[in-house]
Structures are given as structure tokens and as C-alpha cells.
Amino acid sequence: MTKIKWHWIWGIGITVVFLGLLAHRLEFFREKPAAAPGPQTVQITRSPESWMNIYQNRKKIGVIHRTFTGLENGRFQTRESVAMQINTMGVVQALNLSTESELNPDMTFSSFHFELNSSLFRFAARGYAGQDRLIVFAGLPHAQKKTVLPLKDLPHISGNIYEAAFRGGLEKDQTRSFSIFDPSTLALRSVKVTRFADEVIPIMGKRILTQKFCADFMGAQNCAWLAKDGEILKETGMLGLSMEKVDAQKAREGISAEGIADFSQMASIASNRILPEPSTLTQIVIRVGGVHNLPLMLSGGRQKFSSGVLTITQEETPDTAQPNNGPKLFQQYLQPSPLVQSDAAEIQKQAAKIVSPKDSPPARLRKIVHWVYRNVEKKPVLSVPNALEVLKNKAGDCNEHAVLTAALLRAADVPVQMETGLVYLKGRFYYHAWNTAYVGRWVTADAVFDQIPADVTHIRLARGEGAEQLDLLGVMGKITLEVLSYKND
């Protein structure tokens, strides 16, 4: 069979990570601070409408439009729309986000509705918060899965933490933790916000005295500058992203697709050694730096991490007659999830076409991985990938391949998980996603490369379908790799 062209195999290994960053940054929702405001509470007076331009290395790539409306009984309604042009693997694509939220008088949220639309894919999430639980419906607009999450405190939903810190009277050099919810991964996480010294910055032709706050989100730092009324005037983040308040006329100026930097290239890491064909390697030894105290999964299975040195040894090819005799614990990796809809009729039907009831688990793994490899077009897309839409569109990058592979394997009664990390390609390590399946033992599989097991340049950093992938935010721009040796015997 003809091998896929190398320049096609890379989509957006960082898509979920990047969308997590966007969700964290773009203030999709407006709620209360993690702790009830004390005597130092500051009141925020918001303008009914505001605009911000989104820049990448000072080049405009998007715009944000927000409205804030008073309702009856002291409640509020916010609407926000975001339009962006993003370059991934040399392909510039449009990304549109929209959010509507309803707030209580104390600025806690009572409901939200979030939608993402890109060239091929859609994602929607809506939710309702109570005192002790968060009810979320997420997935395709017409086929959403219900998830109930217990709450200790009402969280923020991926944003507004700077205004919350301002409203809570955070003083200079003080740090406070806030709980946030990310709708794209159904993850509840903690964010630390610190107030720094005040700064004077130029905004819309004026020099304005601002309060500066920085948020540490999984090791990734974003900063914001707020006016005296609590309005966010400017923000900066990773990968050259920044946002700045503008007037409506400037916001309406067009977005040029020319010269937009490639996010996947910016996030990749140059290798100190040019490696031969990765599929021929049986072991690789890499010195890993910049990951101290980060919640990563560098050790386990084929990976051993000790004293900053990572050794990855290729697993044996699974015996086609190997039975599945794993512990009951592994049954959880057969269950459907909002984005891995293994119980959907379409997924079940397709899995039945690919495998036979008489096939052993290793045989099912091989057939499904090979089917996804052959039938899903290798194409960079911007999405929160879900198996049903990938099956429908039959296109996507590594995330789409991994989520569809997971759904089909679970439908075929093979326990499977998703792994994310880095993989080598033409002198660089790029962010990537793949699978690990239990077929008598855990074996890695990559449907983008049609590999079982996946080659040893696959460096696992996290394992999981959503929340765990946010851990990569703390890695990007910090991790260092030095290839010490490799074997290809």
C-alpha cells in the first residue's frame, strides 16, 4: 500500500490544548470569584458593549464582540462572539465561537450555552449550575451527552478570573486560587491568579493606569491589564497571542490570512539529532527538561523516566490469538463518553462491518486501526473532536483519528484510552495524539501512521480523553528534549 505523504500526516496535535487556552482566555462566561467577596469587594461597572482584537505577534487574526445586558430581578445576560483565522500545518482556517450566559445578581452563573464552528466540525456545550452539582450537555448539537459533576464551590467557566480577582479586592503581591470549568474537556481545574504592580499602558491612543493580574493555568501564564472600573483592556498569552481593546471601527477592519504564523510549528521542538525512519527504531533515550512538578505521565508501560532521562522501548507485536483477560478495572475503558460515543448506533454499525465476532482482540485492534488509517483523510482541522462527526466527515488530524479509533474499539469490546504527547517528524517533535488498547496487555496504536505498536518516538505526556490533555498547557514552551541515543536493531 502507498504510504501517506509525510506533509499530510500532521494536523493539529495541539488543537485540544489550544482550545483549552482559548476557553481559559476568551472570557466565555462571567460568574463570581471562588471566594465570596469580603469587605474589600470592588464593584464592576461594565459597558453594555465592547470589542477586542486578537493578535498573533502583533498581526490581527481575530476579533471578539461582547454585550452585557441587565435583566429582571438584578440578573444579567452576556453574549460573546469570537471570529479567528488560525494557521495549522500551513492551512489557514476560520474558527468561530459563540457563547451566551445568564448570571445571578451576585455574578454567579445560572446557565451557559457554548458553540464552536470550524470548516468541518461543530461542538456545543450547555450547562446549568446548582449549589452542589453542574449539569452539562456536550457534543454535537443534535446528539449531546449529559454529564453531572459534583461541585464543592460554584466554579468559573473558563474565564473571567481577572475580573473576579479585581472584584474580590485582590491586593498587590497577593495570590488566590479560582476553580474553573472548561466545556471542551468537561474539566474542573484550579487557576492561581496573582496581582502585580500597577502599570501604565497605551490603549486606543491614551495612556491608562491599570491593575495587572497574571494567571497560572497548568503552568502556562496569561496576564491581563484592567482599568479602574474592572474592564479588561489587554491580555497576553502563550504562542505569541495577545488581545487588546479597540473601538468598533477598528474591530471591523478585516483579518488578513497572509503571513499568519503556524501554531503547530511554533509549538514544536527542534531535535538535536536527525533520526532515521522512526518505525525502524526499537529504543530511544531522551533527556527531558522543563517538566519539574508538572502532572505528566512520563513513566509507565513502555516508558521509563528517571533522573531526567526518558527511555522508550518498543513493545512486542501482540499475538493475534491473545485473549482479553484484564481486570474488571479495565471495563471503564469500554464505556462511552460525550466525545467517544461508542454506544451510538452509527459507531456500533461501523465497528460490526470492520470486525467479526470471531476475531481475537489483537485482530480487532489491527482491523480497526487500519480501517481508520485508510478511510479518514489526513487533514488539519480545528475542532473539539468527537467520534460521530469524524465518522460522518471522514477527515481530520491526529485528534480525530484517535477519538474515532477509541469509539470503534470500545464498540468492538476492546478497552482503549487516548494518549497525547510528542512525536518525531523530519527533525522536530510535534504535539500529537494516539491510542493505547488492552489486547491481553496494553499496546500503543497510531491510526495516523497505521502503527501497532506506535514507534518509539511517540513520547507520552498525558493519558485521558479531556481533562488530562489540559496538562499539556503547562508543557508548551517549557519542555526541552535532547536525544541521547537510539537503537534500530
Long-range contacts formed by 105-112: CB under 8 A, 24+ apart: 105/73, 105/74, 105/75, 106/32, 107/30, 107/31, 107/32, 107/76, 107/164, 107/167, 108/31, 108/32, 108/154, 109/29, 109/30, 109/31, 109/154, 109/157, 110/75, 112/28, 112/29, 112/157, 112/183
Query: From CA 121, how far away is CA 19, in angstroms rounded?
Result: 14
Q: Does the N-terminal peptide bond of residue 183 adopt cis geometry, omega within 30 degrees of 0?
A: no
Backbone angles phi, psi at 405, to 5 degrees: -60, -45
Residues of the chain with pLDDT below 50 are 1-44
User: pLDDT tens digit string along 333-391?
Assistant: 999 987 899 999 999 999 999 999 999 999 999 999 999 999 999 888 777 788 998 99
Query: From CA 292, how far away is CA 269, in angstroms rounded?
Result: 18
Helix (H, G, I), strand (E, B) or coil at 85: strand
Q: Which fold has domain 268-487?
A: C8orf32 fold (3.10.620)
Order the strands of the 283-289 sheet from edge to edge: 303-306, 309-313, 283-289, 480-487
pLDDT at 42: 43
Mean pLDDT value across the chain: 81
Backbone angles phi, psi at 73, to 5 degrees: 60, 30
pTM of the model: 0.76
Helix (H, G, I), strand (E, B) or coil at 408: helix
Query: From CA 255, how far away is CA 37, in angstroms rounded?
Result: 40
